[in-house]
Amino acid sequence: MAEILKGAPAAQNLSLNLIKRVEILKSKNITPVLEILRLGARPDDLSYESGIIKRCGKVGIEVKKIILDASCPREELLNAIKLANQDNKVHGVIMFRPLGNKELEQAARDLLKPEKDVDGMTDGSLAGVFSNRDIGFAPCTAQACIELLDFYNIDLTGKNIAVLGRSLVIGRPVSILLQNKNATVTMCHSKTKNLAEICRQSDIIIAAMGRANFVDKNFINKDLKQVIIDVGININDEGKLCGDVNFSELESLVKAITPVPGGVGAVTTSVLAEHVVRAAEKYL
């Protein structure tokens, strides 16, 4: 049976390190502050928000909430971002996405200072990922995949990795972060031919498509002892949470696999907290 790569121990490990770093910041009169910018009250935003507040509370980060109407005027949202940019007490900002208004979302992304962009939504942050330079922050879920692999000592050097999905939030940045760690990455998407064959030739598969139970035994080569990272969060036909990977079918065929829930998602808020602490340290 596969090793189950649970997110909680990796998250806990990150948190313990953060507690120490926050203590040092506080001894220098700096309390790291994260501003949450939420439009409306979508259930998944509320659930993410409560996870963030819990995680930040555990490590000593203060959370400030700015809640706007789902259809607030353009100027109201942009003004909130301007104020956060100017506020020296706010070290990081996360704006829950997607917004209903794509053009407004882009304007908000363009306005936020990369040094406060703790969820990697600005072009500056993405440029930092692509050029492997210290500009802004990587998108948290993409970074969470790397943290999870690191925590379980899964070496990436020279490994063939198939990344399924090319979004700016996960697929693209995680592909670059993996290459920065010397992996050979094949980035796949909905038009990729021979997807299952590419996966069968890969040492590691990272699934981030939003397609319930899509990756099944046809994507697996048992001899390769593959590692499967499932980023997907979907609702299956029975109304239950599931990933992009058919966990029960693959569990006996691969070397290691993340569960959903309790895998990558459990690490994401800790990565966000780490980014806020790092932003505060840079400010110092």
Query: Site residues (CB under 6 A) for ligand NAP?
Result: 141, 164-167, 169-171, 188-192, 195, 208-211, 231-234, 264-265, 268
Q: Which is nearer to ligand NAP, 185 or 188 (CB)?
A: 188
The secondary element (H helix, E strand) that includes residue 77 is: helix 74-86
Task: Tell me the C-alpha distance between 68 and 88, whole Å.
Answer: 22
Of 90 and 202, nearer to ligand NAP (C-beta) is 202
Report the candidate in 262, 280, 263, 284 with the shortest Cα–Cα distance to residue 18.
280
Would residue 107 be called left, alpha or beta, if left means φ above 0 and alpha means ψ between -120 and 50 degrees?
Answer: alpha
C-beta of residue 84 within 8 angstroms of C-beta of residue 93: yes
Q: How far is the CB of 268 from ligand NAP (least distance, A)?
A: 4
Overall residue count recorded for the chain in this entry: 284
Q: Shortest gap between Cβ of 190 and ligand NAP (angstroms)?
A: 3
User: Across 142-242, where does the E strand assignment appear?
Assistant: 160-164, 184-188, 204-207, 227-230, 234-235, 241-242
CB 216 within 8 A of CB 243: no
Amino acid at 257: I
Are the CB atoms for 84 and 112 separated by under 8 Å? Answer: yes
Cβ distance to ligand NAP smaller for residue 169 or 279: 169
Q: Report, in Å, the least distance between residue 220 CB and ligand NAP.
A: 16
The whole-angstrom distance between residue 195's C-alpha and the CA centroid of its chain comes to: 23
Pairwise CA distance, residues 233 & 32, whole Å: 30
